[in-house]
Structure 1
Amino acid sequence: MKSLVRCRILPWRRHFSTTARRRVTRSIEELPDRVKASYVQRPSNTLLSLHWPSPPRNILITKKKRTPGITESLIEYSTHLSTTYPSINIILDPDSAAEIHEQLSFPVYTWQKPSGNASPQYLPDKTDLVCTLGGDGTILRASSLFAHSATVPPVLSFAMGTIGFLGEWKFKEYKRAFREVYMSGAADTYAKLEFPDHQPSIPLTSPDDPLDKPLSYADIRGKAMGSNRTARILLRNRLKVGVFSPTGQRIDALPAGDTYALNEVIVHRGSSPHLKIIDVFIGGRFLTEGVADGMIISSPTGSTAYSLSSGGSIVHPLVPSLLLTPICPRSLSFRPLVLPAEIPITLRFGDKNRGHEVEVSIDGKRISDGIGPGMEVRVLGEDVKNEAGEWCGGVPSIVRGVDGLEDREDDHWVGGLNALLKFNYPFGDQDGNP
């Protein structure tokens, strides 16, 4: 009798198994551990450089829901990654995986839906890079998947929605954009790559496009960007949020530890017809008794969202700050404030309220239980550097460069803001008609 030889399948070869393993969804628990990128300060400006210690393998792709055109783009994009980068594993949220996995000729990975406001298990430990197909809401939803993780993988966003404050790339650029990210800052490491012995039997999306051809060792050596041509990172600071009982105990309805918010924390009256009385404390000192529909505490990234609609200032995402904006305050003298990120803000639900509760939303997600009299919402800007001086916090957003403006790499935000808000835009039709 012939002896059976048990072979160990290496993680990066899982895409090249038998046909029976295709058109299936698998658990992210099976994936190799996350490859953590590092970020290096660029000498000429405030953006950071992306450096991979080894090639990214586990790519999470999120998309705008209920949009057939974006679903087709997701299939095209994931197929391109699987055929061109043979070591890559595609991670999709459970709904997207169920929707498209039968249309793919390779397995995809997903997770069990968590209960309540908990983050998906294993996702922060397995995801190397996040790609989003949609608008700002899609980016916020992707960020919320890491709401209880101190570190977030780099985010490559393709603007395919109605609002584009956060989106950076057009989808038609996805091949070049991903190639630049994949090659960023790891020439020496990539030279030691070992590729599978055979390529997948999947037709190329565009046989004549060089960016569609599977990478080989020669391709890696020829296309590594080098230390001076790395992908650019705009590090977006988040908020650390905690909800506490009158006795100072963390509310059990929330997962253990702080929740991180990319955009904002909102304390609002919800369906109640009455104004709410909210005591505001800055750095532990009482500021005012605010009577309003609610209060917004936003990050610089969130300054162009609900806070802007409520009269708040627009703050550059590189300014470490917290924004406190009242929603329809009774007193016209209560104006929006911009505070240093290291100064904590506390919102306490006062005892004088006619309603019994206020509602709390974190990046658009409502906390299951409202907060009653004496309960507090405490907000502080997160630390984006550790004791060793390494960049570790925030949401690392991959931004595109500006052609011919290498020394003005933050111009993408200025130009994008003007294009979206139409500063000094003339009244009437674009063609000059009244």
Structure 2
Amino acid sequence: MQVAVIANKTKKGAERAIGVLEAWASERGHDLVLNREEHPPRELHRELLRSEVFVTLGGDGTMLGGARIVGKSQIPILGVNLGKFGFLAETSVDKLAETLDLVAAGKHQIAERMNLGGRIERPGRDTISFSALNDAVISRADATRIGRFETFVQGEKINSYTADGLILATPTGSTAYNLSAGGPIVSPDMRAILVTPICPHTLGIRPLVLPQHEEVRVQFPEGREKYELTVDGQRLYRLTPDTTVTVFMAPFVTRLVRVGGPRFYHVLRQKLYWGKRDSTLES
């Protein structure tokens, strides 16, 4: 089995995790394609995509970067959490060799996660396509000023949001920026598009959960204001007022390796401290 690895070397424990992987591959007779950077060069990128499993060493950001590299290739991704939160990761360094043994033996499950697809269109310019596992966030380039976001679903105008920004998220991304902005938590097994305004000017504005087949289009009132689109917190696109951003369910999924069965609600309890008392409130 060939195993691809990308690592966030700024994370504490990255070198230890690489050592565990190298020892495991040597002892079990597996091939390792190792990149110590989150953004591999093109030649290595092609070699990574020949692998049977893709291991990311870092936090959720490293997994999102791995998902972008994997793209439509459908290679399963195994996340190893070296960070503090790790909503997406499946295992730790201490359990890494054991987890890989299960994967090599076929004793694992695959969780398929919906992606967003998107288009950035501007008159007289080539269309730019993008995809996101977590979210696409549109905001004013000047963060000190409020923006206006004309939003349409299936061609029908639903709102002209006056807000700091607009989050278009997948169920997987519902526990990321969407959650911080007051959006709903949605099971990642669902297929849906979440529309969550960031700090809307009107108190009556609430997030929307749309069915998977609907398409969201966002436009901007004519003016001199500039906007930005950030995809999965990693890719940044500059937008002008004549730009149209369209988001829909992508025609492919991201496949995540799971070895312990369903874990979403366990992660919620663990990471968000649900059901745990705050000792500072007890007297």
Query: Is the structural similarity TM-score above 0.5?
Result: yes
In the aligned structure 2, how far is the partner of 1:180 from the partner of 1:330? 51
In the aligned structure 1, how far is the partner of 2:38 from the partner of 2:134? 24
- The match for 2:31 among 88, 106, 120 is 88
The aligned residue for residue 204 of structure 2 is 333
> Whose RCO is larger (CA < 8 A, sep 6+)?
2
The aligned residue for residue 303 of structure 1 is 174
Structure 1: stretches of 5+ with no match in the other structure: 1-55, 98-109, 114-119, 185-229, 384-392, 402-408
Q: CA deviation at 1:413?
A: 1.2
- Residues 192-231 of structure 1 correspond to what in structure 2 (within 5 A)? 230-231=107-108
Corresponding position: 1:413 with 2:264: yes
In the aligned structure 2, how far is the partner of 1:382 from the partner of 1:61? 25
- Residues 16-31 of structure 1 correspond to what in structure 2 (within 5 A)? none
**Could you say which structure has the larger radius of gyration?**
1
In the alignment, is the contact (CA less than 8 A) between 1:263 and 1:302 conserved in 2? yes
Which is richer in strand? 2
The aligned residue for residue 73 of structure 1 is 17
Cα 1:280–1:124 shift into 2, 3 Å: farther
Count of equivalent residues: 283
Q: CA offsets per residue over residues 327-365 of structure 1, 9 Å max, x none? A: 1111111110001111111111221x5x52101100112
- The match for 1:284 among 149, 152, 155 is 155
The aligned residue for residue 94 of structure 2 is 172
The aligned residue for residue 131 of structure 2 is 260
For 1:397, give the aligned amino acid. L
Q: SS at the partner of 1:91? A: strand
Q: CA deviation at 1:123?
A: 5.2
In the aligned structure 2, how far is the partner of 1:123 from the partner of 1:271? 40
- Residues 35-46 of structure 1 correspond to what in structure 2 (within 5 A)? none
In the aligned structure 2, how far is the partner of 1:312 from the partner of 1:298? 10
In the aligned structure 1, how far is the partner of 2:123 from the partner of 2:204? 29
Corresponding position: 1:142 with 2:19: no
- The match for 1:319 among 161, 182, 190 is 190
For 1:111, give the aligned amino acid. P
- Identity, % of aligned positions: 25
Q: SS at the partner of 2:157? A: strand
In the alignment, is the contact (CA less than 8 A) between 1:124 and 1:152 conserved in 2? no
Q: CA offsets per residue over residues 178-228 of structure 1, 9 Å max, x none? A: 1111121xxxxxxxxxxxxxxxxxxxxxxxxxxxxxxxxxxxxxxxxxxxx
- The match for 1:428 among 276, 279, 282 is 279
Structure 2: stretches of 5+ with no match in the other structure: none
Q: SS at the partner of 1:169? A: coil
Cα 1:338–1:124 shift into 2, 3 Å: farther
In the aligned structure 2, how far is the partner of 1:362 from the partner of 1:376? 15
TM-score (structure 2 length as normaliser): 0.91
313-322 vs 125-134, greater mean Cα deviation: 125-134
In the alignment, is the contact (CA less than 8 A) between 2:140 and 2:225 conserved in 1? no
In the aligned structure 2, how far is the partner of 1:281 from the partner of 1:138? 32
Q: SS at the partner of 1:126? A: coil
Q: SS at the partner of 2:86? A: coil
Cα 1:289–1:246 shift into 2, 3 Å: farther
Corresponding position: 1:126 with 2:55: no
The aligned residue for residue 363 of structure 1 is 232
Q: SS at the partner of 1:137? A: helix
The aligned residue for residue 107 of structure 1 is none
Cα 1:70–1:87 shift into 2, 3 Å: closer
The aligned residue for residue 349 of structure 1 is 220
In the aligned structure 2, how far is the partner of 1:123 from the partner of 1:329? 45
